[in-house]
Structure 1
Amino acid sequence: MHPSSNSEFGRNPLPGAPPVQLPPDSAARPVDSPLRLVIILMFVNLGLSVLTTIITLILREDVLNFQLAHSHLPPDAPPAEVAMVRRTLESALWSKLGATVLVSALYIWRAYALRRGSRGAYVRLYYICIAGLIGVVYLILAGQYPVWMRVEQGLQAVVLVALIFAVSRKEVRNRFAKPR
């Protein structure tokens, strides 16, 4: 029989499928307070880096002049040598700025992975914090930057130490414990 001749035209003669319950999105689950603190500290550290990057871009000539004045060049260094050191310092400054952009993307990616419960992201965050703290302490001690930058680096060191403690808290460790 043709469907148009069916008196029940428009009705589906097959029974409906049962409703499907999708598993909850792990990235959408609520973030507990210990993990929230970790993510907040990550973004405070990132904010300090971005702020310093913007100020450094604005004051890059002053930063380069400071670095050049505090380099180990003799006062009677030939102009070609001074120009070469300045170019090297400028390249290093741009590399630092590029690294900040890269770390920004990495932090955002790590924060989402932490929310999803990724143990790998948790372990990598430990390494990032320790490496960042070592790098910041080196920059402060080396005195390669103006005082305002060393103050910011000191603030970053404090945030990184707080982040290491926050990541080390029992509640956070348990959330990312190896499955047994």
Structure 2
Amino acid sequence: MTSTDTHTEPAPEAVAGLHHPDTRRAFRTVHRFVLAYLGLSVLTLVAAFALRDHPSVVTPAVWVRGTIVVLGAAVTLLFTVRAGRGSRGAFRRLRIIATVMLAAIVTIVVLPGVFPVWMKVEQGLCGLALLGVAVLVNGRHLRTLFARL
């Protein structure tokens, strides 16, 4: 190790913690929630495309938000996969993006008039999936594990 290298190897028991059944189960569940979030997001863009000739149902805000959510969900999936492999940075980013996107969804659902009701319902479902992610990645087991990695 050189004097400029500040990265230290995680303790063997911390690395073994990645393979613990509770850790694997938590990441499987997070992965499922994120896939549901991504799937709903893609379906939203498909629905927007199908209803594109109805400007009262598909507003410019639907296109912008729908695109942002699909991209955010794809990035969230990437962070989930990398965190599941032990990336501390990806785990930290997963915690942040789940919280930020959840807050954005809550704002969208409560704002009157900006988005059509159908999108607010879809966003509410996405919010439930992200709430599951946020609860798991901010839970004691995973936070403790990643603090040791």
Larger radius of gyration: 1
Deviation string 1:5-53 (CA, Å, 9 cap, x unpaired) is xxxxxxxxxxxxxxxxxxxxx9xx8671012111111111111111112
| Aligned twin of 1:65 | 56
Are 1:174 and 2:148 an aligned pair?
A: no
Superposed counterparts of 1:110-125, under 5 Å = 110-125=79-94
Superposed counterparts of 1:3-22, under 5 Å = none
8 Å Cα contact 2:62-2:115 kept in structure 1: no
Task: Classify 1:48/1:121 alpha carbon distance in 2 versus 1 (closer, same or farther; 3 Å).
Answer: same
| Aligned twin of 2:97 | 128
| Aligned twin of 1:161 | 131
Normalised by the size of structure 1, how large is the TM-score? 0.61
Q: Which stretch shifts more, 103-112 or 32-41? A: 103-112
| Structure 1 alignment gaps of length 5 or more | 1-25, 68-88
Task: Classify 1:152/1:93 alpha carbon distance in 2 versus 1 (closer, same or farther; 3 Å).
Answer: closer
Task: Report the Cα offset of residue 139 of structure 1.
Answer: 1.2
8 Å Cα contact 2:98-2:130 kept in structure 1: yes
| Structure 2 alignment gaps of length 5 or more | 1-14
Task: Classify 1:120/1:99 alpha carbon distance in 2 versus 1 (closer, same or farther; 3 Å).
Answer: same
Superposed counterparts of 1:25-174, under 5 Å = 32-62=24-54, 64-66=55-57, 90=60, 92-143=61-112, 144-174=114-144
1 CA distance for matches of 2:107 and 2:70? 21
1 CA distance for matches of 2:116 and 2:36? 22
1 CA distance for matches of 2:26 and 2:70? 27
Task: Report the Cα offset of residue 132 of structure 1.
Answer: 0.7
Structure 1 counterpart of 2:101, which letter?
G
1 CA distance for matches of 2:81 and 2:116? 35
Task: Report the Cα offset of residue 104 of structure 1.
Answer: 4.2
Instruction: Give identity over the alignment, percent.
Output: 32
2 CA distance for matches of 1:162 and 1:37? 8
Aligned residues: 129
| Aligned twin of 1:7 | none
